[in-house]
Structure 1
Amino acid sequence: MPSVTYRRPGLVARDHVFRVPLCHDDPGAGEIEVFGREVVAPGKEDQRLPWLVYFQGGPGGKAERPVSTSAWLGRALQDHRVLLLDQRGTGRSTPANRQSLAGMSPAEQAEHLSHLRADSIVRDAEAIRAELVGDEPWTVLGQSFGGFCALTYLSLAPQGLRQVLITGGIPTLTGHADDVYRAAYPRTLRKNDAYFARYPHDAEIARRVVEHLAEHEVRMPTGERLTPERFQTLGIQLGQAGQFDALHYLLEEAFLGDTLSDTFLRGVDAVVSFAPRPLYAVLHESIYCQGTASRWSAHRVRAEFPEFDWTTAERVNFTGEMIYPWMFEQDPALVPLREAADLLAAKDDWPALYDLDQLARNEVPVAAAVYHDDMYVDRDHALESAERVRGARVWVTNEYEHDGVKASPAVLDRLLAMNRGDA
């Protein structure tokens, strides 16, 4: 049901809260709420505009909060009414975190969390479309994991789609999580190479930091311990525009004499804590699982890449978009979910997320931006999967990082033009 409408420069917004089944196949399992923010350009509030629903990256990422008209949103509002959807479990939707799940057993937690993947997100979207739009199909814009959701949408409910736009988010459709991480570790090493080529002195600082952490018990301002392996996870930033520099500016203030500075520790905590997005850690490997268990894939596969062992490698390399079981021992936001996470890692009966036959006969216009040097989504996997989607048009570019759609309106503009046949 809609709540208050409010205005800010460049947009008019209205909040919606929708009730959907936790399990769409079992209405008796209870209901949850899904929050959506409708956004339209000022002066167009009463116009009949086509709808565009935005699927945020993640998993476990809430929708963008429009403090201003960002690159893609400004372009979308020229000719669309936009729905910013907090995917189930995130943001203002019914939360799924250590606090909301505290009264459940680990098995109950795992069961609840198993209903937060792309297939459920898509079925939520279809229920919401029926309530907001009726029979009219809408456009989906999927960024990163949102692109994964878009391909699930094409598989499960293509009748709900006018067109699909994907940026940095075409997954392997058939590969195991191990395949994903065997491709991800070399890409992450290349980002490290590029980073240390730009800031060669930072290799010495990173080495000094990990050795200090190994010899001292260092606490961040929240009281959490900072360990060498947790410090390495700062590399999660390296695939986004401008974050090379952000990491450098953090490292250059690392030490105050022989002690790690409060400024540095506070900055590290802001990056490595999963308190704002626990589902990113809990569900990350499950987004690749179809009838298989991940069994902590990133952790197992890491052993094949000794370059990330700071104790023996010549250089301290930062890790990327990998989740490890020790995170559920070191991060207070994750500790209460450790047993549930183990159950999810062992789960081998995940349902299929993609229908290859449906994708092969697809009739929905699809345009996708594949970033040539994307650290998070493998280029070769993306291109191989795109070939399985009938009629999909792909733009491969090295002009942008993974978050290119947020950096320039030209990205969304080109995708829209591709689907019109103008590019």
Structure 2
Amino acid sequence: MSAAQYRQAGVVLTDRRFVVPLDHDAPDGERIELYAREAVATGRENDELPWLLYLQGGPGFGANRFSGKQAWLGRALQDYRVLLLDQRGTGASTPANRQTLPLRGDAHAQAAYLGHFRADSIVRDCELVRRELTGGAPWTVLGQSFGGFCAVRYLSSAPEGLDAALITGGLPSLDAHADDVYRAAYPRIERKVRAHYARYPMDVERAREIAAYVLEHEPVLPNGYRLTLEAFQSLGIWLGASDGSDRLHHLLEDAFVPSPAGRVLSDAFQEQAAAALSYAGHPLYALVHEAIYAQGGRATDWAAERVRAEFPQFDGEKSLASGAALLFTGETVHPWQFDTDPALRPLRDTAHLLASRTDWEPLYDPARLAANEVPVAAAVYHDDMYVDTGHAVATARAVRGLRPWVTNEFEHDGLRASGPRVLDRLLGMVRGEV
């Protein structure tokens, strides 16, 4: 472990690096590096404080890069020394992307490598880091979204490492196949789109106009992304966030400008769409997203794409032809994205191999969860676009002692939008104060 220390307003930060096995079942084999940022309140650097480990959502995103005591961090620093971990393959932790993965070899070698990037490996990383940092003392984990999936895996495989678990928008189904996840998701996505149009009725026609233009011209965005109709629809992923409907409306309202060639999509629209659609900064999200649901000897086989066919109302071309409102889509990954996105295109064969893999190990241990003794509190966001409420509530019932807080006050990003309030409530729940 190496460390470098510096300061921001009210916070002392320490960069930490750890070396862990790529394959924890082969501890003498290849090693990879993990990066994490330790945060402690100014003036408390030398205090004996309990640790809180933060696991970011995703998969495929590094931990938040806060400035000072932003969002929930200020509340956490009142009680804890916080570790913001870049999960393996993300941020500064031995990145996995189109630039680095070819170092592994061909697509088969890359897919085998990425098989070690699910919640089971992440939790084993955390256990090695914990023993190095805390001297063996258990710590509290805060898991947002996919970080909550990792927390449930933690409770299944290494509960002795946990003093408490706090989960926000991240209680996974313990046994659902990816097909079940998306079969539950598309109706939720439709509800979010209908709610958006109820709030911004002018966007019905605006979305249709943009969709018709995209279908006819299929423009190439400034970063090389090929904007297809399906890609345009996927901007609906924003609708799962607290400000997502507003962001989508602002994008749609000024989409066109006049030009010598007639009305065209503005540079401003294209730049924003390119930033929203590109996976350049988080390719692991696309590569292993469906694999986070893979268990029980079944391939995911592009579940979101196959299940979408069961919901014909999402067919953009048919909506344009019939005069119906265009439905956006949500948190789904599709094979066509490995053609439209230049950051993913070189990884197309690797993605297909991961989608066809069948030998995934189970992620959760229902018997161990049913006997759980770790205090757990979970914020379950009612009608969360990204995580099914029904699945989350069923899992809450299956984990002994888990206290759920089911609320419609927040979208999936409640921890970001109202972090101090959400974290304070969860801490009070695990401590028996509320």
User: Contact 1:299–1:325 (CA<8 Å) still a contact in 2?
Assistant: yes
Indicate the residue corresponding to 2:180 in structure 1. 179
Percent identity at matched positions?
60
Q: SS of 1:102's equivalent?
A: helix
Indicate the residue corresponding to 2:303 in structure 1. 297
Partner Cα separation in structure 2 for residue 165 and residue 174 of structure 1: 21
Partner Cα separation in structure 2 for residue 274 and residue 224 of structure 1: 10
1:102 CA displacement: 1.5
User: Contact 2:224–2:341 (CA<8 Å) still a contact in 1?
Assistant: no
Q: Deviations over 1:23-82 (max 9, x none)?
A: 000134400001010000101100000000000000011000012322211110001000
Amino acid at match of 1:137: P
Indicate the residue corresponding to 1:350 in structure 2. 360
1:315 CA displacement: 1.3
Amino acid at match of 1:266: E
Q: SS of 1:323's equivalent?
A: coil
1:154 CA displacement: 0.4
Q: SS of 1:311's equivalent?
A: helix
Partner Cα separation in structure 2 for residue 224 and residue 268 of structure 1: 9
Partner Cα separation in structure 1 for residue 242 and residue 218 of structure 2: 33
Q: Which moved more, 1:309-318 or 1:389-398?
A: 309-318
Partner Cα separation in structure 1 for residue 375 and residue 49 of structure 2: 19
Amino acid at match of 1:302: R
**Is 2:276 aligned against 1:271?**
yes
Q: Which moved more, 1:65-74 or 1:169-178?
A: 65-74
Compute the TM-score of the two structures, normalised by the length of structure 2: 0.96
Indicate the residue corresponding to 2:372 in structure 1. 362
Indicate the residue corresponding to 1:156 in structure 2. 157
User: Contact 1:254–1:261 (CA<8 Å) still a contact in 2?
Assistant: yes
Q: Which moved more, 1:197-206 or 1:123-132?
A: 197-206
Q: SS of 1:268's equivalent?
A: helix
Indicate the residue corresponding to 2:429 in structure 1. 418
User: Contact 1:70–1:406 (CA<8 Å) still a contact in 2?
Assistant: no
Partner Cα separation in structure 1 for residue 161 and residue 173 of structure 2: 23
Compute the TM-score of the two structures, normalised by the length of structure 1: 0.99
**Is 2:72 aligned against 1:60?**
no
Indicate the residue corresponding to 1:228 in structure 2. 229
Indicate the residue corresponding to 2:335 in structure 1. 325
Amino acid at match of 2:101: L
Amino acid at match of 2:174: L
Partner Cα separation in structure 2 for residue 167 and residue 200 of structure 1: 31
Q: SS of 2:20's equivalent?
A: strand
Partner Cα separation in structure 1 for residue 218 and residue 244 of structure 2: 28
Q: Deviations over 1:247-297 (max 9, x none)?
A: 111111100021000000000011110000000000000000112210100
Q: SS of 1:219's equivalent?
A: coil
Amino acid at match of 2:423: L
User: Contact 2:415–2:423 (CA<8 Å) still a contact in 1?
Assistant: yes
Partner Cα separation in structure 2 for residue 70 and residue 189 of structure 1: 33
Q: Which moved more, 1:123-132 or 1:96-105?
A: 96-105
Indicate the residue corresponding to 1:262 in structure 2. 267
Amino acid at match of 2:274: D
Amino acid at match of 2:433: D
Partner Cα separation in structure 2 for residue 75 and residue 406 of structure 1: 12
Indicate the residue corresponding to 1:88 in structure 2. 88
Partner Cα separation in structure 2 for residue 353 and residue 149 of structure 1: 9
Q: Which moved more, 1:245-254 or 1:1-10?
A: 1-10
Q: SS of 2:179's equivalent?
A: helix
Q: SS of 1:27's equivalent?
A: coil
Indicate the residue corresponding to 2:312 in structure 1. 306
Partner Cα separation in structure 2 for residue 378 and residue 91 of structure 1: 27
Specify every segment of 5 or more residues in structure 2 that has no aligned partner in the other structure, as ranges: none
Partner Cα separation in structure 2 for residue 4 and residue 310 of structure 1: 51
1:223 CA displacement: 2.6
1:202 CA displacement: 0.8
Partner Cα separation in structure 2 for residue 29 and residue 181 of structure 1: 37
Amino acid at match of 2:222: P
Partner Cα separation in structure 2 for residue 284 and residue 222 of structure 1: 23
Partner Cα separation in structure 1 for residue 268 and residue 286 of structure 2: 25
**Is 2:370 aligned against 1:378?**
no
Q: Kindly report structure 1 stretches of 4+ aligned residues shifted beyond 4 Å.
A: none
Alignment of 1:99-118 (within 5 A): 99-103=99-103, 104-118=105-119
Indicate the residue corresponding to 1:72 in structure 2. 72
Indicate the residue corresponding to 2:135 in structure 1. 134
Amino acid at match of 1:393: R
User: Contact 2:225–2:278 (CA<8 Å) still a contact in 1?
Assistant: no
Partner Cα separation in structure 2 for residue 228 and residue 67 of structure 1: 37
Q: Of 397, 406, 415, which aligns to 2:407?
A: 397
Amino acid at match of 1:82: V
Superposed CA RMSD in Å reads 0.9
Q: Which moved more, 1:336-345 or 1:116-125?
A: 336-345
User: Contact 2:224–2:342 (CA<8 Å) still a contact in 1?
Assistant: no
User: Contact 2:56–2:143 (CA<8 Å) still a contact in 1?
Assistant: yes
Amino acid at match of 1:188: I
Specify every segment of 5 or more residues in structure 1 that has no aligned partner in the other structure, as ranges: none
Q: SS of 1:74's equivalent?
A: helix
Alignment of 1:168-247 (within 5 A): 168-247=169-248
Q: Deviations over 1:189-213 (max 9, x none)?
A: 0000110111111111111111111
